[in-house]
């Protein structure tokens, strides 16, 4: 019933907002609609004309929504969730799919880190220094390989300048602080122009202690299950006393972190294009929550606020830590051509990544060295036809050594060819794309080779002014990852003994998606997408019923499955009052994951949505937001249900100077201090999302 009430409320909210805005639209003067080009696409297409579902966030959007890692910052987008392994680590989940099925890219190339191999491994990209992010869902991501069967999150870091700045000397400074974890974050970027040379450097640092939560770290369901297990224990009660007063209360243990990154970049920029090089160094250290759950003997039972000084990490002498380092070099360029192909664009990245997981005297080292290259030949013949042909190549060596190494040394080599073409006849058009990939996995136990073919076709219509309708049919094929094939060992991040499968075949998905958009000159913007994907050989960890090293044994195997759902969003001007223009926005998303033989796919996000109202008078912008998340009771084997929740957020952005780009930000998240747990996280029953948190920040650009 609660699920149904939330669904009706969210659906009604979208309808009411659209209806309420109609009167205001009648009195709104027509404004020029801003054209936003989706640069992640091989085609130079505006966002309003993309055949799939795409979100484009600029620097101002990211600064306003800044929250922990990249996945948390993007979580308010429809259809996007997170693997949330604390504020330091988390990868985006798109339409119920994550890990290897969602590629997190930096300027179109792989992050070349270890984040996809385990949810407790941080993504080596920081939103604090990003200039923009584009999120491509479903078939829109076909240009980045069959591995991106769920979608792509492409982060632009601005490290290599691609255009000539307006000023000969330019820069940016951001300083922020948060209360719920005593966090501090800072970013500075500066550069200059000398003839055709554009050079810049940047440095960023963010750190925080453990964060506040409104109650116990462990969920009520997990604590009840633990109590039940203790009640049925055959040993003496004195040996197994389970006192909840000894558990973490009011704070999430082992959620502190420190991230630092510095980079240098330079480009030669002219009318012919650009050529540039960039170097980046990333270092981090953070706690790994959920691995151990020690009693806190030195934490007062009454949880007195005076003792809650954010030094709880020192109460966990044996808590595991992760220390990370990555050095990365990028080359990128684009040159105008004469002939059928009028542009060539290329990018190359090399990275040396290593992190150590340290617990007591035990240590596990994860080492990855990788290289990826991408080249695109693009052509455009007026507005009617355009296309791109290209190739990608990736090679990486991944090795884990030490006490908790759960995978042998593996070399992955990928090579792909792709082509996409679009014919646009104003009122209608066609878009097609195809790619072929080869993946070779080389390890001591066995070598595997996979050949995959993916293709998509779309038809789009513009039946009336402001309308865009598209239907897409696609076939995507994904080769298994190194972990899925070669895992064999205890993996405490998933609290399981994982076993790979040398007999895995490729994962094939047939999917269909419909997209509808409407944009008016008066400011009304609406978009809805429905999708259905049928998977042949969906790869997942399934329980075997056995135990190894005190952990349940989970084995990668394949089952047929299907995912389907929808996303909808509407934004519209509402009214004007006291010099402020009020705008409302509503969104809702839903995904269902089922195994054909019966049962549910694991960690599928429940229905969620949001309502927000923004008041803006130019210098001052005020926003209030309510995010609704339903309960999730359709769960996988041995997976606990998750309660729904409502989070209330608010923020204010003030630009005090008309002639200078300076903004002051004041934001409050989770105003009511609600307990909220993310169902797509392995840690949902061990730590909730942060409680009430206040952020104050200053940002300026020149």
pLDDT of 93 strictly over 50? yes
Region of 483 please: left (phi>0), alpha (psi -120 to 50) or beta: alpha
Please count the other Cβ atoms lying within 10 Å of the Cβ belonging to residue 12. 12
Mean pLDDT of 366-372: 96
Beta bridge partners of 575: 582
Say what the pLDDT of residue 233 is.
57
Q: Residue 427 is encoded by which pair of tokens? A: 């009122």
Q: Residue 528 is encoded by which pair of tokens? A: 């809805």
- Residue at 243 is within a domain: no
- State the chain's mean pLDDT as an integer: 88
> Which domain range does residue 498 map to?
47-223+249-289+318-701
**107-147 pLDDT, tens digit each:** 999 999 999 899 999 998 888 889 999 998 866 677 787 77
pLDDT bucket at 149, cuts 50 / 70 / 90: confident
Q: How far is CA 429 from the centre of its chain?
A: 31
Selection from 512, 547, 516 nearest residue 529 by Cα? 516
Q: Say if CB 398 and CB 353 are below 8 A apart.
A: no
Mean pLDDT of 326-344: 94
How many percent of the chain have pLDDT more than 90?
Answer: 73
Exposed, middle or buried: residue 552 (CB in 10 Å: 0-12, 13-18, 19+)? middle
- Residue at 91 is within a domain: yes
- Residue 300, phi then psi, degrees to nearest 5: -55, 140
- Residue at 615 is within a domain: yes
Number of structural domains in the chain: 1
The reported pTM is 0.88
C-alpha–C-alpha distance, residues 416 and 425, integer Å: 30
- Residue at 60 is within a domain: yes
**612-636 pLDDT, tens digit each:** 999 999 999 999 999 999 999 999 9
- Residue at 21 is within a domain: no
Exposed, middle or buried: residue 639 (CB in 10 Å: 0-12, 13-18, 19+)? middle
- Residue at 41 is within a domain: no
Q: Say if CB 479 and CB 448 are below 8 A apart.
A: no
Q: Say if CB 688 and CB 677 are below 8 A apart.
A: yes
pLDDT of 299 strictly over 60? no
**450-460 pLDDT, tens digit each:** 999 999 999 99
**157-191 pLDDT, tens digit each:** 989 999 999 999 999 999 999 999 999 999 999 99
Report which of residues 45 and 313 the model is more confident about: 45
**Residue 643: CATH number of its domain:** 2.40.170.20
- Residue at 228 is within a domain: no
- Residue at 559 is within a domain: yes
C-alpha–C-alpha distance, residues 303 and 325, integer Å: 36
Selection from 572, 587, 124 nearest residue 328 by Cα? 124
DSSP 312: G
Q: Say if CB 412 and CB 440 are below 8 A apart.
A: yes
């Amino acid at each position: 019933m609660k699920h149904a009430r939330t669904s009706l409320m969210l659906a009604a909210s979208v309808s009411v907002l659209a209806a309420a805005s109609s009167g205001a639209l009648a009195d709104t003067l027509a404004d020029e609609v801003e054209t936003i080009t989706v640069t992640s696409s091989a085609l130079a297409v505006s966002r309003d004309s993309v055949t799939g579902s795409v979100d484009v966030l600029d620097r101002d959007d990211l600064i306003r929504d800044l929250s922990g890692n990249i996945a948390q910052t993007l979580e308010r987008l429809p259809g996007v969730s997170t693997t949330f392994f604390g504020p330091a680590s988390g990868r985006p989940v798109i339409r119920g799919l994550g890990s290897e099925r969602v590629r997190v890219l930096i300027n179109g190339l792989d992050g070349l880190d270890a984040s996809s191999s385990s949810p407790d491994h941080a993504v080596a990209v920081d939103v604090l220094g990003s200039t923009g992010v584009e999120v491509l869902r479903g078939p829109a991501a076909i240009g980045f390989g069959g591995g991106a069967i769920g979608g792509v999150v492409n982060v632009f870091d601005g490290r290599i300048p691609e255009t000539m700045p307006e000023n000969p000397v330019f820069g940016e400074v951001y300083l922020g602080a948060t209360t719920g974890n005593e966090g501090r974050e800072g970013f500075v970027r500066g550069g200059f122009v000398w003839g055709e040379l554009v050079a810049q450097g940047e440095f960023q640092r963010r750190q925080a202690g453990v964060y506040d939560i409104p109650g116990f770290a462990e969920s009520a369901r997990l604590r009840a299950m633990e109590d039940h297990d203790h009640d049925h224990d055959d040993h003496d009660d004195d040996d197994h006393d389970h006192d909840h007063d000894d558990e973490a209360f009011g704070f999430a243990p082992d959620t502190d972190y420190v991230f630092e990154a510095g980079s240098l970049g330079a480009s030669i920029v002219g009318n012919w294009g650009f050529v540039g090089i960039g170097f980046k160094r990333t270092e981090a250290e953070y706690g790994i929550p959920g691995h151990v759950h020690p009693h806190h003997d030195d934490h007062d039972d009454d949880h007195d606020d005076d003792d809650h000084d954010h030094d709880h990490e020192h109460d966990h002498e044996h808590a595991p830590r992760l220390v990370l380092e990555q050095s990365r070099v990028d080359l990128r360029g684009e040159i105008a051509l004469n002939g059928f192909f009028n542009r060539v664009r290329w990018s190359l990245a090399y990275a040396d990544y290593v992190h150590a997981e340290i617990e007591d005297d035990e240590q596990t080292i994860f080492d990855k060295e990788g290289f990826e290259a991408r080249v695109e030949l693009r052509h455009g013949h007026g507005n009617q036809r355009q296309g791109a042909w290209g190739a990608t190549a990736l090679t990486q060596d991944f090795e884990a050594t030490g006490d908790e190494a759960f995978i042998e040394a593996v070399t992955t080599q990928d090579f792909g060819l792709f082509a996409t073409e679009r014919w646009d006849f104003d009122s209608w058009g066609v878009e097609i794309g195809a790619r072929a990939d080869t993946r070779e996995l080389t390890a001591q136990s066995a070598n595997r080779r996979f050949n995959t073919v993916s293709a998509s076709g779309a038809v789009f219509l513009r039946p009336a002014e402001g309308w865009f309708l598209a239907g897409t049919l696609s076939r995507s094929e994904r080769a298994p990852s190194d972990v899925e094939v070669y895992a064999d060992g205890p993996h405490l991040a998933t609290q399981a003994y994982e076993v790979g499968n040398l007999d895995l075949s490729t994962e094939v998905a047939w999917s269909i998606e419909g997209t509808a958009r409407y944009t008016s000159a008066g400011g009304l913007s609406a978009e809805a997408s429905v999708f259905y994907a049928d998977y042949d050989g969906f790869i997942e960890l399934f329980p075997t019923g056995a135990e190894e090293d005190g952990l349940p044994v989970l084995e990668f195997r394949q089952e047929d499955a299907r995912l389907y759902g929808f996303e909808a969003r509407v934004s519209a001007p509402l009214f004007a009052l006291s010099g402020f223009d009020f705008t409302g926005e509503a969104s809702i998303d839903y995904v269902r994951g089922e195994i054909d033989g019966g049962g549910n796919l694991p960690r599928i996000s429940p229905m969620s949505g949001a309502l927000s109202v923004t008041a803006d008078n130019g210098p001052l912008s005020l926003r209030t937001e309510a995010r609704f998340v339903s309960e999730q009771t359709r769960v996988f084997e041995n997976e606990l249900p998750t309660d729904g929740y409502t989070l209330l957020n608010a923020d204010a952005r003030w630009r005090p100077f008309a002639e200078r780009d300076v903004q002051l930000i004041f934001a409050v998240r989770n105003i009511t201090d609600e307990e909220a747990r993310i169902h797509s996280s392995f840690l949902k029953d061990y730590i909730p999302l942060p409680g009430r948190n206040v952020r104050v920040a200053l940002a300026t650009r020149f």
